[in-house]
A and B are shown apart, each in its own frame.
Chain A
Amino acid sequence: MATDKYYVPESSPWPLVASVGLFMTAFGGAHFIQQATDPDTFSGSWGRPLFFFGLAWLWLTIALWWRDTIKESRGGLHSHQLGISYRQGMLWFIFSEVMFFGAFFGALFYTRWLIVPWLGGAGSNAMTHELLWPDFQAMWPLVKTPGGTTTQAMGAWGLPAINTAILLTSSITLTIAHHALLAGKRGKLIGFQAITVLLGAIFLGLQVEEYIHAYTEMGLTLDAGIYGSLFFLLTGFHGAHVTIGTIFLAVTLIRVIKGHFDAENNFAWEAGAWYWHFVDVVWLFLFVVVYWL
């Protein structure tokens, strides 16, 4: 089904159309955030519909774009070399994601090892401590901010530990599915991939549960100081990536059922699997440095 010639695709409207969607998402999103969080300053409420319209536009465009790509692949236009391009592209995309999380992990370490001790007077910062917030005590997790906001720290051994087990299990089931794909065992592949998608959904459900618990019972919120900020942005972006990964695996599951993949022709499937393992590894780091230590 593959060709030896490198495939330079025909021109396509989707990149431009997707850019329009991205524009509406960004432009609407900025106004949506302003109008929703500060209605006194920012009148109007058109940001929200524009944001969601743009987002739907973007998703639909990408779906149509990838439908074209899948058609071309099914039509035998894709060479082995193009498959390598896709794989390399996906790996570099995952590297960019690693660096995105790196920014937030870096903020966590900087806060924990430098800012908080300094505010407490460590190093040459005795006068900073004395002049700014003399009553402040350095600790981590920071459950009382210099400004006086108090909160509670999220423990590691309740839901987070269960979630760790769920994600680790999902990585194993996905690997079993991968072996089944390569061995051409469709039944096993579909079964284990379905389990993986289900585990992803359960993880997300428990994460929502944890957030509700944090907000309603623990006073652990986004505005509860730097601990809450880091906790929610790190786990929140991870959760967003699990959501994308779950959708990704669900789509490739449908394509497995349609018979799109075999031992050679399986880029999209493997890309989804790599992505899943990536979010899994991020979670392990999160579990250790956000919840546990």
Chain B
Amino acid sequence: MKATFGNAIQYQTHEGTGHLILGQPPSNTMTPGFFEEFDQAIDRILNDRHIRALVISGNGRHFSSGADLTALFPEIQGHSTVDNRGNLLRVPGFMLKNHRSFLKLESMTIPVISAIRGVCLGSALELALSCHFRFSGEDAVFGLPEATFNLIPGLGGVRNLSAITGKAKALELILTGKTIPASEALTLGIVDRIFPKREVVKISLGFALNIMQGFHKEKNKMYLKKYFPV
């Protein structure tokens, strides 16, 4: 089965496995439209009792280069409630919604696997960090470059990265904003396995099928609650 929600995401199912494809090649930029569609896609998967595992990958050679800053700045300016000195009073609703979509993703009671090739930067890495497994091609590069644009990761990246790598490495990666290759990401625990780049999506789908067949959905739920508490 295939479905689209717009032009930023494609969704397919194979035998009970859902496959979300970030679909605006080459860089699969996460535009405001992307986040809108992403939230719809997550809701749809949450309501589909037949889906027992989810794989997320990028269309083409890259996972995603992250959020689209040119579109983001005016959106934030337009939707923020500020006091008369320009200080932020209320976080814009669309940012809270984006944040909630990622929370929904990580609280899913089916295993969620990100299959990562090429670049996985900024919000794209935050998306991957909200998944339960991260499988990577040997060509992948990871990074949170927000600080180099005078920002910080804003969708759980700081919290989730420091939980995986410890405070010290998270501090260094976020403040320098440097990118690291898959091998270093593996050492730091950011990715779980590295595969040949052409096979990472196929292997992830196979892995999903495999663990899915081993569990009933109810048992699966208990397992995830136990090992991935939110």
- Check if A and B associate: no
B positions within 8 Å CB-CB of A: none
A positions within 8 Å CB-CB of B: none
